[in-house]
Amino acid sequence: MEPVKIGLLGLGTVGGGTATVLTRNAREIARRAGRGIEIARAAAREYRPELIEGLDQIGHIGDDAFDLVEDPDIQIVVELIGGYSPALELVMRAIENGKHVVTANKALIAKHGNEIFAAAREKGVMVGFEAAVAGGIPIIKALREGLAANHIEWIAGIINGTGNFILSEMRDKGRAFADVLAEAQALGYAEADPTFDVEGIDAAHKLTILGSLAFGIPLQFERCFTEGISRIDAQDVANAAELGYRIKHLGIARRSPGGIELRVHPTLIPERRLLANVDGVMNGVLVKGDAVGPTLYYGAGAGALPTASAVVADLVDVTRALTTDPNNRVPHLAFQPDELADTPVLAMESIETSYYLRLTALDRPGVMARIASILGEEGISIEAIKQKAPATGETQVTLVMLTHRVIEGRMNTAIARIEALDSVQGAVVRIRMESLSG
Ligand X SMILES: N[C@@H](CCO)C(=O)O
Ligand Y SMILES: NC(=O)c1ccc[n+]([C@@H]2O[C@H](COP(=O)([O-])OP(=O)(O)OC[C@H]3O[C@@H](n4cnc5c(N)ncnc54)[C@H](O)[C@@H]3O)[C@@H](O)[C@H]2O)c1
User: Per rule CB under 6 A, is residue 79 in the interface with ligand X?
Assistant: no
User: Per rule CB under 6 A, is residue 44 in the interface with ligand Y?
Assistant: yes
388 assigned to a ligand binding site: no
9 assigned to a ligand binding site: yes
Residue whose CB is less far from ligand X, 296 or 321: 296
Residue whose CB is less far from ligand X, 9 or 402: 9
Residue whose CB is less far from ligand X, 137 or 333: 137
Cβ atoms of 197 and 205 within 8 Å: the answer is: no
78 assigned to a ligand binding site: no
Q: Where are the alpha helices (DSSP H) in 216-303?
A: 234-242
CA atoms of 207 and 147, how far apart (whole Å): 17
CA atoms of 318 and 321, how far apart (whole Å): 5
User: Per rule CB under 6 A, is residue 7 in the interface with ligand X?
Assistant: no
Chosen residue from 130, 169, 197, 378 binding ligand X by CB under 6 A: 197
Residue 10 binding result from ligand Y, Na ion, ligand X, none, given CB thresholds of 5 to 8 Å by partner type: ligand Y
User: In 10 A of CB 51, how many CB atoms?
Assistant: 16
Contact segment (CB under 6 A) with ligand X among 24-32, 146-154, 157-165, 286-294 equals: 157-165
- 3-class DSSP assignment, residue 8: strand
- Could you tell me which residues come within 8 angstroms of residue 340 by beta carbon, excluding any fewer than 6 positions away? 216, 217, 218, 333
Residue whose CB is less far from ligand X, 105 or 403: 105
Preceding omega of 86 cis (within 30 degrees of 0): yes
Cβ atoms of 209 and 129 within 8 Å: the answer is: yes
Chosen residue from 38, 130, 169, 191 binding ligand X by CB under 6 A: 191
CA atoms of 187 and 169, how far apart (whole Å): 14
Positions 306 through 335 that interact with ligand Y (CB under 6 A): 307
Cβ atoms of 22 and 312 within 8 Å: the answer is: yes
357 assigned to a ligand binding site: no
- 3-class DSSP assignment, residue 350: helix
Q: How far is the CB of 389 from ligand Y (least distance, A)?
A: 45
Positions 170 through 189 that interact with ligand Y (CB under 6 A): 188-189
206 as an active site residue: the answer is yes
**DSSP sequence for 38-102:** EEEEEE-S---GGG-TTGGGSSEEES-HHHHTT-TT-SEEEE-S-SSTTHHHHHHHHHHTT-EEE
Q: How far is the CB of 213 from Na ion (least distance, A)?
A: 11
Name the DSSP class of 144: I
CA atoms of 87 and 79, how far apart (whole Å): 7
Return left, alpha or beta for 120; rule: phi > 0 is left, psi -120 to 50 is alpha, else beta: alpha
Q: How far is the CB of 135 from Na ion (least distance, A)?
A: 6
Chosen residue from 207, 224, 247, 302 binding ligand X by CB under 6 A: 302
Q: Which of 99, 111, 141, 206 is catalytic?
A: 206
Residue whose CB is less far from Na ion, 9 or 300: 300
User: Per rule CB under 6 A, is residue 227 in the interface with ligand X?
Assistant: no
13 assigned to a ligand binding site: yes
Q: How far is the CB of 186 from ligand Y (least distance, A)?
A: 12
Type of residue at 324: T
Per-residue interface string for the shown chain with ligand Y, residues 75-104, x marking contact by CB under 6 A: -----xxx---x-----------------x
CA atoms of 174 and 238, how far apart (whole Å): 11
User: Per rule CB under 6 A, is residue 136 in the interface with ligand Y?
Assistant: no
Name the DSSP class of 345: B
Residue whose C-alpha is closest to residue 61's, from 79, 73, 51, 46: 46
Q: How far is the CB of 109 from Na ion (least distance, A)?
A: 12
Q: How far is the CB of 161 from ligand X (least distance, A)?
A: 4
CA atoms of 367 and 395, how far apart (whole Å): 12
Q: How far is the CB of 61 from ligand X (least distance, A)?
A: 24
Q: Which residues are annotated as a binding site for NADP(+)?
A: 9-16
Binding residues vs ligand X (CB under 6 A): 135, 160-162, 189-191, 197, 202, 301-302
Query: So which residues are the catalytic ones?
Result: 206
Q: Which residues are annotated as a binding site for NADPH?
A: 106
Binding residues vs ligand Y (CB under 6 A): 10-15, 43-47, 63, 65, 80-82, 86, 104-106, 131, 135, 188-189, 191-192, 302-303, 307
Q: Which residues are annotated as a binding site?
A: 9-16, 106, 191
